[in-house]
Amino acid sequence: MRASAFVYPWDVDGDPEAPARIAGLGVAQATLASAYHSTRALTPRHPRHRVVTAPHAAVLYPADGARWAGRRLRPYPAGDWAPGDAFGTAAEALAGAGLEVHTWVVLAHNSRLGEEFPDTSVVNAYGDRYPWAPCVAQPETREYLVDLAAEAAVRPGARGTELESLGWYGLAHLHAHDKIAGVGLGEAGQYLMSLCFCPACRDGYGRHGLDPDELAAAVRRALEPVWRGEASDAGWETVEKLLGAGPAAATRAWRDAVARELQTDAVTAVRAAAPDGFRILLHADPVSYHCGANAGVDPAHVLSVADGVVVPCTGSPALLTPFAEQGRGILAANLTVVRGMGGSPHTLAADAARAAALGARELRLYHAGLASDEDLEQVREALRELR
C-alpha cells in the first residue's frame, strides 16, 4: 500500500535530518501543511525548538496579493512559527529526499476569522457564536474558501492535495482548554448544537419550508433531555425523534446541499488551477450530517468530483465501506501512529490489512513530526512488513 506521512513545515525547516528521516520510514509521499489552523505542536527532534505555537490559522506561504486585494476575508500570514515561504522550503527539502509532496489544506476551521468577523461564524439555536466555525452557507465565506482551496492546494512542486474541513464545522472543535464534555451530547446532540441560525441559514431553512424562529425553539426544546442527561442516542433516528422527522429532514436537506455545492466548487477551482495529473482528495466522513475536520459527505457525490478520499480509520476501518461501495476513486485510510494521541503504531500492519480488506489502497499516517522515536521505529517496521 502506498503510504504518506503528514508533516508540518516547521518539522522540516531548520532540521537538515528531517527529510531523510521521513523518507526512511518507507513512505512514498509527504502530505505537507500549506494552510493550517491554530495549534501548539511538539517537535521532538528539532535542533532549535521543542514546541511550536501557531496562535492563529494561517497560510504557510506568501499569499497572492493580487488575488486578495480589496477583499474583507483573506488568508492570514503566518508569524515566526512559519516565516516566508515555509511550505516551499520544506517541500523542496522533502522532494530532495525522494518524497512526492502533496499539500494539506485546512479550510472551514479558523478561529481568528470568526473573532475578527463574527458575522461569518456558525450561530447555534441559543444565539451562541462558534468563532472557529465559518458558516459555509454564506456567499462571502464560500468565495473565500474556494479561492483559498485553489491557492493553498496548488503550490510549486506539489503533485496533489488533501482538503480538510471542506464542509460544515460545528460544536466539536478540540478548542483551547475545551470544557464541553460535561454532558454527553452524542451524535444527535452534536448535530442539534451544530445547526446554524445565521441570516444565510435562516433563509435556507425558509426555502425548505421551515420557520427559522420556530425551528430554533424546537431545537432548544429537543435539547432539554440532553441537558438533563436523559437522552439515549441512536444517531439520526434520535435527531428525528427529538426534532420531528419532517423538520429534521428539511435541516439536513439544506445543509447537505450547501456542503455538496461547496465541495464541487472547491474541487473545480483546484482542478482549474492545477497541472494535469494533480490528485485531489478530501478528508471525509460518509455520514453527511457529521461535522468537523473530516467533513460529512455524500460518498457518491464526492467521488464523482474528487479523485478520492482520506477516511479516519483509527480504531476501526468501517467508514471506508460506503466509499468502497461506489467502486471508484482513491481510498486512503488515515491512521494515527502517535501513541500519546491515541494511536497504535505497534498495530499498524494489522490495521492497514483490515483497511485494505475494506477497499483502502493507500495509507495516511498521522503524524511524522509529532511521533516519538519509538513510534517512528514501529512505523518503519510495519511499512517494511507491508512491503
pLDDT digits (tens, 9 = 90+) for 298-344: 999 999 999 999 999 999 999 999 999 999 999 999 999 999 999 99
Strands 29-36 and 58-59: antiparallel
> Residue 194 above 70 pLDDT?
yes
Name the residue with cell 482520506: 310
Residue 9 to residue 82: CA distance in whole angstroms? 7
pLDDT value for 230: 79
pLDDT value for 182: 65
pLDDT category at 22 given cuts 50, 70, 90 is very high
Q: What is the pLDDT of residues 176-191, one digit of tens each?
A: 666 566 677 889 999 9
Residue 91 to residue 158: CA distance in whole angstroms? 8
Q: Mean pLDDT, to the nearest integer, of 128-151?
A: 98
SS3 of 217-252: HHHHHHHHHHHHCCCCCCCHHHHHHHHCHHHHHHHH
pLDDT value for 125: 98
Selecting from 3.40.50.1100, 3.50.50.60, 3.20.20.80, 3.30.70.3040, what CATH number does the domain 2-179+257-386 have? 3.20.20.80
Q: Mean pLDDT, to the nearest integer, of 108-126?
A: 97
pLDDT value for 74: 98
Task: Return the sign of the alpha-carbon dihedral for residues 114, 117, 120, 123.
Answer: positive
Percent over 90 (pLDDT), the chain: 93
* 175 vs 351 pLDDT, higher one: 351
> Residue 260 above 70 pLDDT?
yes
Q: What is the pLDDT of residues 49-67, one digit of tens each?
A: 999 999 999 999 999 999 9
CA proximity to 348, closest of 338, 361, 358, 359: 338
Question: Which segment of 120-124, 196-200, 222-226 scores lowest on mean pLDDT?
Answer: 222-226
Residue 324 to residue 156: CA distance in whole angstroms? 32
* Cell numbers describing residue 13: 525547516
pLDDT value for 338: 97
Residue 56 to residue 253: CA distance in whole angstroms? 33
pLDDT value for 181: 65
Q: Mean pLDDT, to the nearest integer, of 208-212?
A: 98
**Helix, strand or coil, per DSSP, at residue 283:** strand
Percent over 70 (pLDDT), the chain: 97
Q: Mean pLDDT, to the nearest integer, of 341-362?
A: 97
pLDDT category at 233 given cuts 50, 70, 90 is confident
> Residue 25 above 80 pLDDT?
yes
Longest Cα pair distance anywhere in the chain, in angstroms? 60
Domain locations along the chain: 2-179+257-386
pLDDT mean across residues, the chain: 96
pLDDT value for 179: 59
